[in-house]
């Protein structure tokens, strides 16, 4: 039980951070568009990455830093581009949502092209799990549960914020915050 709770706590501490992926989940939750698919993609992706990390691939990846370097540059470019799109939405709030297919692809890109997901989910959680020996998979289950819990609360709970986001100014503030955080994250990856 200790390993499960440790995984849950560490998983929550890593995932409850403002970032591009969480902003997308929040946005789709407020708009009530594609929430089930977005939440499922985020939670399932985290589960795969956590399993990969706990399974020991994090150790292998740390031996091949060129892989993380390539992901870092692609991720930085994507995050800065996403920041530019957020600024565009902020300046032109009439452009709030793309098509469902575009949202799914954006979610996949925000998840799999983000170098922080590999550092946090694969390397950090994978390394932390080694302290639990044979119970490391219980740690993984706890971390996976944290991901499911967070994305469900964020995606499905966002509908209660729809009153706040009925005004274009609220979208501008959200998009401005997303632009700053995402662009800063992208730039920090290359600096």
DSSP 38-103: HHHHHHHHHHHHHHHHHTTHHHHHHH-HHHHHHHHHHHHHHHHHHHHHHHHHHH-TT-----HHHH
Cβ contact 19:185 at 8 Å = yes
Residue 94: the pLDDT is: 55
pTM score of the predicted model: 0.77
For residue 186, give the nearest of 60, 106, 73 by alpha carbon: 73
Cα 113–chain centre separation: 10
Distance CA 33, CA 76 (A): 27
The pLDDT tens digits along the chain (191 residues) read: 888 998 888 888 878 776 778 888 988 998 888 999 999 999 999 999 999 999 887 666 667 777 767 777 877 887 788 788 888 888 886 544 444 557 899 899 888 887 778 878 888 888 888 888 889 999 999 999 999 999 999 999 998 888 887 788 888 888 888 788 778 877 877 77
Residue 109: the pLDDT is: 87
């Amino acid at each position: 039980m200790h390993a499960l709770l440790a995984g849950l706590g560490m998983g929550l501490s890593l995932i409850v951070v403002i970032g591009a992926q969480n902003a997308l989940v929040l946005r789709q939750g407020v708009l009530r568009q594609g929430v089930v698919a977005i939440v499922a993609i985020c939670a399932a992706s985290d589960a795969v990455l956590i399993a990969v990390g706990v399974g020991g691939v994090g150790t292998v990846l740390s031996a091949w830093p060129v892989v993380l370097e390539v992901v870092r540059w692609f991720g930085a470019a994507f995050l800065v581009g996403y920041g530019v799109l957020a600024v565009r939405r902020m300046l032109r709030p009439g452009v709030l949502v793309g098509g469902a297919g575009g949202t799914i692809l954006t979610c996949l890109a925000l998840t799999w092209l983000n170098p922080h997901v590999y550092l946090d989910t694969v390397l950090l959680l994978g390394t932390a799990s080694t302290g639990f020996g044979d119970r490391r998979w219980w740690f993984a289950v706890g971390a996976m549960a944290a991901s499911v819990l967070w994305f469900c609360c964020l995606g499905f709970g966002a509908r209660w914020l729809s009153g706040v986001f009925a005004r274009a100014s609220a979208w501008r503030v959200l998009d401005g915050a997303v632009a700053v955080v995402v662009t800063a994250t992208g730039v920090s990856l290359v600096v």
